[in-house]
Structure 1
Amino acid sequence: MIIVKKELLNKLLSKNYLDETDWEELEDSVNLLQNNFTCKLCQNFPMLSRDDIHIILLLYVGMKNIEIAKLLHILPRSFRMRRCRLKKKMKIDCDSLPEFIKRLFKSEI
């Protein structure tokens, strides 16, 4: 799991809904640790929506698919479909989206 404050991850997992403040806190934490990750993500993949970026952030910090599905109030199989659509949108061909995301800017860090 990427080193993000454990308190933050526990807080996210304990909630039923993430408000804008929660999303900003998560994004700020990842950006601080990974040198403006979301800016680079948006530059390399301008077609991503805000929801897509949220999903990528959750995958990046190591949340499991089932945890993300619960947080987004969707079925795990619906989340799997969303993940597949996200891979198509990003035009990437990989077995593991979380691994792709974790390696994405590794060479720049």
Structure 2
Amino acid sequence: MKDYTKFMKWAVVYMIDRKTQDDRKSKVEVEALFSSLVQAKDNYIIRNPEHKRYIIHVDDLEEFETVYNQFQDLREKYGEHAIFHLDDLALGCDKENKYRYILNIDTDIDF
């Protein structure tokens, strides 16, 4: 049987809130897969606008879930001052910028 999903490299995901999880960690839920970023952006119709959605490369899904939870931990620990503690995550400049862009985090950690 052929694997028709092997060329699907981009995922549209939303997060399952940590409040509903026994381990108190948010979980990535893949909603759709696409073969290109442009296709994901242009063709995906948001059916449930109450969920924030993110477009993530499939190779980054696990890391995204981890970083998302780390950002939430900072927000819980420092509140509105969490943005000043991003260095605590030790992500490095490139990864920090990457996930700040995906999560649309500019001046505070409210995603």
TM range (shorter): 0.3 to 0.5
The structure that is strand-richer by fraction is 2
Structure with the higher fraction of residues in helix conformation: 1
